[in-house]
Structure 1
Amino acid sequence: MKRFLIYLVKILFVTIFIAVVLDGLYTAIFMQSKNRGKIEAVINSKAKNYDVVILGSSRANNHFVSQMFEDKGLKTFNYGMSGGHLFEASLMLKLMIERKYEIKNVILEADLNLSNDKESDGVSAKFLPYIHNSEVIKDHFLSQENFNQLYYIPFYRYVKYDSKIGFREIYNITKGESTNALDNQGYYPLAKHKNGNMKNNILNLKPLPHNKYYEEIKSICKANNINFIAVMTPMCENVVGMNYFDKVKKAYPEIHNYENVVIENKYFSSCGHMTDAGAKIFTARILKDFFNK
């Protein structure tokens, strides 16, 4: 029995040792990554200067044409992330401030995601390789239910989120494989698809009266003298429950409502995402209203 217990202790020790080594190795590789996505591009960057930084979900990523801002002489990057929530948008801005970015204007796509203050597992996982290297990331995740497992158990986060930050991603980083996430100053143009979903029902969606991460973004901008512009972006003409945007305006009167600037289905790839043509119409309106010199 004693031998068996000693054997178990040895197995446990070896397992912990391997987990610690792998955790350190994976983290070291992620700390060298700069061309795989927007999160690591910020984390592994030095101070930058921007006239305009765009934050939000795919409805930011696909709706704000960065080059049109650049053509107006405004240094711009679209940090919108497909699938992201305000949890991740707030953390991105915190990381930029931590890295001494100088930002004049933040445009936040704030509409559908005001209905929740949860993290997006698929997107938030991409911050986790750096949780021991950034107090900002650690503090941001501190209130999450699984923080202790993510922070204190070596290699746990890489196993749990293997599809996002596991072996395949490590392999791609070591090979120097890039993605298109950083192309077009972060803007991702969409085409019209014959089978695009042109129906959407947001009837049961309700904005939170006080969205924690929206308020964080607003406070960060105020503290750092950044002009904060929050907008609602367009949806197609088939949407059921468009009074959601009126509810947002009532709860957050400072948010500018642009949901009806583009409504024709021909300008949408899916009901919540405009094509490149629609995005250009929308961006032109934003430039006219906020950056007309």
Structure 2
Amino acid sequence: MKSFLIFIVKIVLITVLLAVVLDYSYTAVYLNSKSRDKVSDVFKSKARSYDVVILGSSRANNHFVTRIFEKNGLKTFNYGMSGGHLYEASLLLKLMIERNYEIKTLILEADLNLSNDKQSEGVAAKFLPYIHRSEIIKNHFEQELNFNELYYIPFYRYLKFDSKIGSRELFNTIIQKKTVATENGGYYALGVNKKGNMKNNIVSLNPLKRNKYYEEIKQLCKANNIHFIPIMTPMCENVIGMNYFEKVKSTYPEIHNYENVVIENKYFSSCGHMNDNGARKFTSIIVRDFFKK
């Protein structure tokens, strides 16, 4: 019995030691390798200066054409992240401020994601390799129910989010496999002739009366003298429940409603995402209305 207990203890110790070594190794790779996504790009940066920074979900990533801002003399980067919520947008802005970014104007895509204040696990996972290297990231995650496991159990976060920061992503990071995340000023164009789901029903969607992370972003901008422009972006003409945007305007009157400036299906790749032609038309309107007065 004694020898069996000793064997079990040895197995436990070896497992813990292996987890610690793997955790350290994975983290070291992410810390010291070339950035493959927008989170690592910001985390590893210092004191950048922008006239315009764009934050939001895929409806920011696919809708704001960086080059159109640039052609109008505005140094711009689109930090919209597909699948992201305001939870991740707020954290990304905190990191930018910590790294002494000089941002004149922040455009926030604020519409559908006002209906929740939860994290998007797949996008939030991109911050986790750095959770022991950043108090900003640690503090942002502290209110999550699984924070203790993520923070204190070595290698747990890499196992739990294997599809995002696990072995495959580690390998791609090591070999510096190219991504398009930070190309084209962060803007990702969707195909003009490719059609996804061209029907959408948002009848049951309601904005929260107070979205914690929207309020965080607004206050961060105020505290750091950043001109804050929250915008609702377009959806296709087939959407059922478009009064959602009226609800947003009623709850958050400062948000600019641009959901109906582009509506024809020919400008959309799916009902919630404009194609490149639609994005260019939309971006030109935004530049005209906010930067050419």
1:205-228 deviation line (CA, Å, top 9, x unaligned): 000000000000000000000000
Contact 1:34 1:44 in 2 (8 A): no
The corresponding residue for 1:150 is 150
Q: How does 1:211-230 map to 2 (within 5 A)?
A: 211-230=211-230
Task: Quote the Cα distance in structure 2 between the aligned partners of 1:234 and 1:33.
Answer: 37
Alignment match, 2:45: 45
How many residues are matched? 293
- 1:243 paired to 2:243: yes
Q: d(CA) in 2 for partners of 1:145 and 1:178?
A: 34
Per-residue CA deviation, residues 175-234 of structure 1 (Å, 9 max, x unaligned), is 111200111000001113454211000000000000000000000000000000000000
Identify the residue that residue 127 of structure 2 maps to in structure 1: 127
CA distance in 2, matches of 1:44, 1:192: 34
Whichever residue aligns with residue 169 of structure 2, its letter is E
Are the equivalent residues in 2 in contact too, given 1:33–1:41 (CA < 8 A)? Answer: no
Quote the residue 1:170 is aligned against.
170
Write the distance in 2 (CA, Å) between the matches of 1:224 and 1:237. Answer: 38
Q: Give the structure-2-normalised TM-score.
A: 0.99
Q: TM-score, normalised by structure 1?
A: 0.99
2:73 maps to a residue whose letter is G
Q: 2:197 & 2:106 partners in 1: Cα distance?
A: 30
Look up the SS of the partner of 1:47 in the other structure. coil
- Provide, for residues 239-264 of structure 1, a one-character-per-residue CA deviation record: whole Å limited to 9, x for no partner: 00000000000000000000000000
Contact 1:221–1:227 (Cα < 8 Å) also in 2: yes
- Answering whether residue 101 of structure 2 is matched by residue 101 of structure 1, we say yes
The percent of aligned pairs where both chains have the same amino acid is 70
Q: Which stretch shows the higher mean deviation, 176-185 or 26-35? A: 26-35
CA contact (8 A) 2:192 2:277 kept: no
Aligned counterpart, 2:288: 288
Aligned to 1:197: 197
Dislocated runs of 4+, deviation >6 Å: none
Secondary structure of residue in 2 paired with 1:31: helix
Letter in 1 for 2:37: G
- 1:89 is aligned to 2:86: no
Unaligned 5+ residue runs, structure 1?
Answer: none
Alpha-carbon separation, structure 2, partners of 1:74 and 1:117: 31
**Contact kept in structure 2, 1:33 and 1:44, CA below 8 Å:** no
The residue matched to 1:100 in structure 2 has which SS? Answer: coil
Q: Determine the structure 2 residue equivalent to 1:112.
A: 112
> 1:241 and 1:33 mapped to 2: Cα distance?
45
Root mean square deviation of aligned Cα: 0.8
Counterpart AA for 2:248: V
- Deviation string 1:147-198 (CA, Å, 9 cap, x unpaired) is 0000000000000000100011111111111200111000001113454211
* Structure-1 residue corresponding to 2:30: 30
Partner AA of 1:284 in structure 2: S
Partner of 2:183: 183
Q: Which amino acid aligns with 2:124?
A: S
Work out whether residues 34 and 176 of structure 2, in 8 Å CA contact, stay in contact via their aligned partners in 1. Answer: no
Q: Name 2:77's counterpart in structure 1.
A: 77
- Whole-Å separation in 2 of the counterparts to 1:261 and 1:195: 20
Structure 2 unmatched ranges of 5 or more: none
The Cα of 1:34 is off from its aligned counterpart by 3.4
Counterparts of residues 4-15 of structure 1 (less than 5 Å): 4-15=4-15
Instruction: Provide the rounded CA distance (Å) in 2 between the counterparts of 1:102 and 1:116.
Output: 29
Q: Which residue number corresponds to residue 19 of structure 2?
A: 19
